[in-house]
Every structure is written in structure tokens, then in C-alpha cells.
Structure 1
């Protein structure tokens, strides 16, 4: 089966959820209802997008500094002094190892995350920037397969050794 056939099959299988992701990627609306009004699945749960992901880290301030320098996220302080890394309509909430907010993952562990983030900036420009700010590139540019089709990616690690992939759809 060709890569295009696989991607077409994946999009078909994703139904409304996949079409919503395509709309979110294309329009930045984050609104699944605008993608398609007729449900293609009888399932009663319809997902829209990730709101946040929690990263358990060894040092919150070091993590904030790194992500601001490496990929230009904004640091948000909320609640009782908690920190989040904000970009687009998503954020990474940061939990300090040993002081995790309840409830939390069964085994909160720094360095256990592998994330792919779709960027508006070209991967080539991301690579130039990462090199300019002395972020070690683990791999890339390389072609991979994202949720909606082929992507071009660059990989690097954060201070806790989480693997971060920055990509563009081809």
C-alpha cells in the first residue's frame, strides 16, 4: 500500500475528528463544529483538540528559559504561582518533580515525553534558529508521517531529555 493510500485511509478512519484536525491546522480555528456539521461516527464522544499537556520537570525555571529561547513560547503564571508554556491555543503545564499537582500521572517522570509540534515557521528556519541559540539538534531535517500526512521534522531534547519534534506538513 502506498504512503498516499495509507494517509487517505487514515483520514477516512479519523472521520469527523480527522477533518476537524485538518480544519484546525488549515484555519487555526480550533473549532471542530466548523469543520463538519454531519457526524460520521455514531460515537457519543466527539473530541476537539488538546488543551494542555503536563510536563514533570526537574527545574521549572530552567525549563521555562529553555523553551522561551528555543521555540519562543510565552511563560504564563497561573493559580498559586504555577507556570505554563503557552503557544497557539495550547499549553504545557509544568509540574516540579516531587511537588506535582494532584491528580497527576501515575509515574510523573522528567524526560518521558516525546512530542510533535506543527510550526508555521519552516523547519529550515527552525533549524537555523536552534543552531543560533545553541540548541543541539538530535536529528533532522527528516521526513516522517504526522496525523494528517507527510511531515518534515527536526528533533531536539529539552533540559529533562524530553524529545521535541518541530514539523511542517508537506
Structure 2
């Protein structure tokens, strides 16, 4: 029987500064989780819905890790039901620059309308509403 992937459980972002990253993603409505895996280390993650982003401090990543972990190398899209004009107003109130949008895009399950920003490490962050064109 072939392998059948069901969903994405979590991703890892390598970041320059965990507290700066946490502050940015909290402004997007994510929650902070601090946890200790079986190896006893203390780790930080961001959670939203049933997903999680684990954070690795650049230069002190946990093993195993990506072959070339670098801050600023990700391109992430987050879907929301909050209207994009409200999202844009919130980002502006948090002094987060919108670099593009709203623009039409295509997501995993269909058409999107998206705005773009960058996190503190330069990762491209897309915030999108599912729409019909």
C-alpha cells in the first residue's frame, strides 16, 4: 500500500531572535507554547488552529535539523476568515508593513485573495482569504 500523507503537523523556522519572532507572530494571533521534549531541552513554538511552528535559534538548532537552516528562507501562506481589509488595518496598527496586495492567488484548495508582509527574519508571509473569482 502506498504512503498516504494526511496533513502537515508542524514546520520549523530557524530564526535570528526567538523573542522578536514570537512578538511578530503573536501580532498575527498565534499563541506561544514553551515545551520540553524527551531530551529535556526547552523549546518554543507558535500555535494556531491545529498547527504549530517550532522555532530554532540560528546557530543553536536542535538535532536533527535541515541541511542548511537559515533565517529568512521561508515563504508561508496563512489562511484566515478575517476580511483582508481588517487584516491590513491590524497589521498597520502593529507597525507591520504590507509589501503587496490584496492580489488574487491560487492556494492548495482554490482561489485566494492575499496580502504579503515579511517577518523579522525576512520570511515572506502571505495572509489570505479563500475566495471565488
Q: Same fold (TM over 0.5)?
A: yes
Q: 1:77 aligns with which of 34, 47, 64?
A: 34
Q: CA deviation at 1:161?
A: 0.2
TM (norm. structure 1) is 0.73
Structure number with the higher strand fraction is 2
Q: CA deviation at 1:49?
A: 1.1
Alignment partner of 1:161 is 2:110 = no
1:98 partner SS: coil
Alignment partner of 1:47 is 2:5 = yes
Alignment RMSD (CA, Å): 0.9
1:29-82: CA deviation from partner (whole Å, max 9, x where unpaired): xxxxxxxxxxxxxx621221111110000000110011112x010000011321
Give the gaps of 5 or more residues in structure 1. 1-42
Q: 2:52 aligns with which of 87, 91, 101?
A: 91
Structure number with the higher helix fraction is 1
**Stretches of 4+ aligned residues off by more than 3 angstroms:** none
Report the equivalent of 2:110: 149
Q: Which has the larger radius of gyration?
A: 1
Higher relative contact order (CA 8 A, sep 6+): 2
Report the equivalent of 2:16: 58
Q: CA deviation at 1:125?
A: 1.2
Q: 1:130 aligns with which of 76, 85, 91?
A: 91
